[in-house]
Amino acid sequence: MINYLVKRDFADTMEPLLFEWTDSLANRFRFIHYEELPDLRAIPAGTIIFADVERLSPSETELAAAVRDLSVSQLPETPILNDPERTLRRFDLLDRLHKEKFNTFRAYRLTDTTVPERFPVFLRYESDHTGAMYGLLPDQTAVDTAIVRAMIRGHRLSNLLMVEFVDTSSDDGLYRKYAAYIVGDRIIPADVIVEHDWHVKGNGIGAQDLVDAELDYIGADPHASQLKEIADLANVQYGRIDYALTDNRVVTWEINTNPFILWTKERVPWWMRPKLEHFIPALIDAFIAVDAQPTDGELSLAEVDPDLRERARGRAAQHGSGPARRFGQQYKRLLDPAVDVVEALAVPFRRQIIGAWKRTNSNQQ
C-alpha cells in the first residue's frame, strides 16, 4: 500500500495513469487529503508519499511532520518519500542551487527585495505551478509595474518570487524543457518539450526529428547522475524535476512534488505516444519498488496534539474547497473591468505604492 498525501484541489494528478493507462497500480494507492488529516485517527500501514509539500501551510507542514514521526516510531521500516520539513520548497531549492553553482541564475522573494541584480526577470508564485506572470520584465520600471499589477489583482506579494531569466535556446532558436520523474532512488526521463517561446508550457512541436530526439533522450538517460545529485540536495524522493541545458549542464527550474503525470488517452497528441512505451513501464516498476509489503496493520495517529489538529483544520477551512475556489475565480472575472481601471490609475504611482508596501512589510517583520 502507498499512502499518497495530497491537497484536495490537486488530487487528480495521477488519475489518468492509474485508471486509464495501466491497471497494475490503482490497488496499490490510497489517497489521503491533507485537509482530512486533522480528523484521522489512523491510516493503513504502508509507504508514505508526502506530495504537494510546496503547497502546505506551516500548520499543515507541522501536522505532516507529526505523522512522519509517528510512522518512524511505530513502523520504522516504512519508506517515507519527501520529508515534509526537510524537502526543499521552490525558493530554498533555487537559492541552494545557485549557491552550490548548479544554477547560474538567482531567485528573490519580493519580501526581501524588489531590485534584482540583473535583468530580465519574471514573477511567479513560490508555492504553485502556474508559471511566469506578465512575461519577461526588462528593467526596473517593468518590475515595479508588474508588482503593482499583481497587488491590485489580489496576488499575495509575500508568495511571489522574482527569478532571473536564463536563455537556454539552442542554435535552432528553439527552447527545450526536459522533465524527469524521481521515484525513490530512481530517475525516470519523461519529456523533452520543444517550443518557440521561452515559456515552455504546452505540448510542444510535433516534428518527427524532435520526436526521435526525445526517444533518444529517454533511452540514453544522459543526465541521470546530475539529476540524482540535485534530487538528493533537495531531499526529494518523489516528484518531477523540470530543467533545461546550458553547455550540457542541467539548469533546474523546479521540482514539483505532485506532478501531473499523463493526460487522458484522447488528449495525448500522436508525437507524445511513442515515448510512453518506455516511460510508463519504467514508472510502474519504480512505484512497485517503493510499495512497502506487507500492508497489514495501521499507523495510529491518536497521539497527535489536539491543538495541532485544530490549527491545521482551521487552515483547511480557510483554504476552501474546489467549488468555493471556482466560485471565487468566477467572481473575480466579473470584477475584472473595474480592476483594469484601478490598475491604470495605480501604475503611474508605482514607486509610492511599492514604497508604502515595503514600509508596511518591514513593520510587520
Sheet strands (E) in 45-185 = 47-50, 80-81, 107-109, 121-125, 132-137, 160-164, 175-183
Share of the chain above pLDDT 90, in %: 76
Q: Give residue 39's pLDDT.
A: 96
Place of cell 527585495: 113
CB contact at 8 A, 5 and 37:
yes
CB contact at 8 A, 218 and 275:
yes
C-alpha cell read off for 317? 477551512
First vs last C-alpha separation in the chain? 44
| Among candidate residues 92, 179, 83, the one with its CA nearest the CA of residue 127 | 92
Determine the Cα–Cα distance for residues 79 and 274; give it in Å rounded to an integer.
32
Q: Give residue 321's pLDDT.
A: 46
CB contact at 8 A, 174 and 168:
no
Which range of 197-211, 270-284, 288-302 scores highest in mean pLDDT? It is 270-284
How crowded is residue 175: how many other Cβ atoms within 10 Å of its Cβ?
A: 19
Determine the Cα–Cα distance for residues 92 and 86; give it in Å rounded to an integer.
11
204 phi and psi angles, rounded to 5 deg: 95, -175
The band of 326, judged by pLDDT with boundaries at 50, 70 and 90, is low
The band of 325, judged by pLDDT with boundaries at 50, 70 and 90, is very low
- Helix (H) or strand (E) segment spanning residue 256: strand 249-256
- pLDDT higher than threshold 60 for residue 320: no
Q: What is the pLDDT of residues 283-295, one digit of tens each?
A: 999 999 999 876 6
Q: What is the pLDDT of residues 107-129, one digit of tens each?
A: 999 999 999 999 999 999 998 88
Which range of 170-179, 232-241, 327-336 scores highest in mean pLDDT? It is 232-241
DSSP state of 35: G
Residue 262 neighbours by CB under 8 Å, 6+ apart: 16, 17, 20, 21, 268, 276, 280
C-alpha cell read off for 172? 535552432
Determine the Cα–Cα distance for residues 319 and 256; give it in Å rounded to an integer.
20
Mean of the per-residue pLDDT values of the chain: 91
pTM: 0.91
Determine the Cα–Cα distance for residues 34 and 51; give it in Å rounded to an integer.
10
Place of cell 490609475: 345
Share of the chain above pLDDT 70, in %: 93
What dotted CATH number matches 175-290? 3.30.470
| Averaged pLDDT, 88-97 | 97
- pLDDT higher than threshold 50 for residue 276: yes
| Among candidate residues 207, 112, 231, 206, the one with its CA nearest the CA of residue 160 | 112
Q: Give residue 364's pLDDT.
A: 66
Question: 3-class DSSP state for residue 237?
Answer: coil
Determine the Cα–Cα distance for residues 52 and 49; give it in Å rounded to an integer.
10
Burial degree of 361 (CB within 10 A; 0-12, 13-18, 19+): middle
